Amino acid sequence: MSVHEPGTPGETATVVAATDVRRTYHLGEPVHALDGVSLSLEEGSFTAVMGPSGSGKSTLMNLFGCLDTPDEGTVEIDGRSVTALSGSDRARLRGTEIGFVFQTFNLMPRLTAAENVTMPMVFHDVVDEDRRARARTLLERVGLGDRLDHAPSELSGGQRQRVAIARALANEPTLLLADEPTGNLDTETGAEIMDLFRELHDDGRTILMVTHERAIAEHADRIVHLVDGTLDEIEEVRGSKAASGRDRSGSEGSE
């Protein structure tokens, strides 16, 4: 399965890069959510972000995901500066280049699983039949081929997150962003979701994932540690890439 080595230097291209980004919130006294962070993601890399609550993980995620723009510094996706884009172009970019997976799943409650997966394609004007075929393929891919017409309320937490992952993959994004994707799931279900992420990684996808749990983070190639809006340390996870990496269980918990 994992024939290619995603991390080989010199061969891979940078898909997204943040350079010295700062994001400051002004509520009374200014809060420096991000205070000069530089991070680039190579094609096919799997990066985990850890750090204490309020350290700016979600803020960084939103910048990479084009939901937000930095006050200073640049974010580039495929070499294009996000800051320079119009709101409408950023929305386009979110639809085509980014796939979001959230802690709280964030499915459209009144739509079925298949329809949820279809949504990004609707905004991207994909033809109806193609959309449905692709939604089916994607849901089969995440193991929900038999739950196409279930509403989110009729699915378990793990199943909902699978639907969300299928939706994130709808437009073949360059980058998969996941903000605590296992945060609302029990350990076992969380592990299943991580298996899925590993498979996607093995397929060559670029993934950025925020997590509080060390065990989850260790599925990635490297762990970025944020503290108070600054990049504290980038830790390479040795031996994690192999599917057997999950054997390294029982390591220290998060904080």
Partner 1 sequence: MNLRESLRIGWRSIVGHKLRSTLTTLGVIIGIASVITFMILGGAFTADVVGDLDDENEPMMSVVTQTEPDAGTGVMHVQSPIYTESDVDRIESIDGVEWVAPTGSLSPVQLTHGDDSITGGFSAQATNPAPFEEDGLYPLEEGETFSTEDEAIVNLQAARLFDEELSADDEITVTFEDGSTENFAVAGVADVDLGGSSSNPTVYVPLDAHYTVTVETPRDTRERGYPSLLVKTESIEGLDSVQDDVEAYLESDSDAHELKADDHEIVAQTLDDLVEQISGIVDQLTIFIGGIAAISLLVGSIGIANIMIVSVTERTREIGIMKAIGARKRDIVQLFLVESVILGAIGAFFGVAFGIGLGYLLVSWIGWPMAYPLDWIVIAVGVGVGVGVVSGLYPAWRAAKTDPIEALRRE
- Enumerate binding residues for ligand ATP (CB under 6 A): 25, 27, 31, 33, 51, 53-59
Per-residue binding string, partner 1, 120-159, x by CB under 8 A, is x-xxxx----------------------------------
* Residues β-bridged to residue 179: 210
Q: Find the distance separating the first CA and the last CA of the chain, reported in whole Å.
A: 33
CA 117 vs CA 1, 37, 52, 123: distances in Å: 26, 33, 32, 12
Does residue 58 interact with Mg ion by CB under 5 A? yes
Q: Which stretch binds partner 1 (CB under 8 A): 6-14, 115-123, 205-213, 241-249?
A: 115-123
**Contact partner, 206, from Mg ion, partner 1, ligand ATP, none, Cβ < 5-8 Å per class:** none
Q: What is the 3-state secondary structure (H, E, C) of the chain?
A: CCCCCCCCCCCCCEEEEEEEEEEEEEECEEEEEEEEEEEEEECCCEEEEECCCCCCHHHHHHHHCCCCCCCEEEEEECCEECCCCCHHHHHHHHHHHEEEECCCCCCCCCCCHHHHHHHHHHHCCCCHHHHHHHHHHHHHHCCCCCCCCCCHHHCCHHHHHHHHHHHHCCCCCCEEEEECCCCCCCHHHHHHHHHHHHHHHHCCCEEEEECCCHHHHCCCCEEEEEECCEEEEEEECCCCCCHHHHHCCCCCCCC
Does residue 106 interact with partner 1 by CB under 8 A? yes
Per-residue binding string, partner 1, 188-227, x by CB under 8 A, is ----------------------------------------
Nearer to partner 1, 126 or 245 (CB): 126
Q: Which stretch binds partner 1 (CB under 8 A): 32-40, 62-70, 135-143, 148-156?
A: 62-70
Does residue 116 interact with Mg ion by CB under 5 A? no
Task: Map the footprint of partner 1 across residues 161-190, applying CB under 8 A.
Answer: 167, 170-171
Q: Which stretch binds Mg ion (CB under 5 A): 31-39, 57-65, 83-91, 225-233?
A: 57-65
Smallest distance, Å, CB 53 to partner 1?
Answer: 14
Does residue 91 interact with partner 1 by CB under 8 A? yes
**Contact partner, 31, from Mg ion, ligand ATP, partner 1, none, Cβ < 5-8 Å per class:** ligand ATP
Site residues (vs partner 1, CB under 8 A):
62, 65, 67-68, 87-88, 91-92, 94-96, 100, 102, 104, 106-110, 119-120, 122-125, 167, 170-171
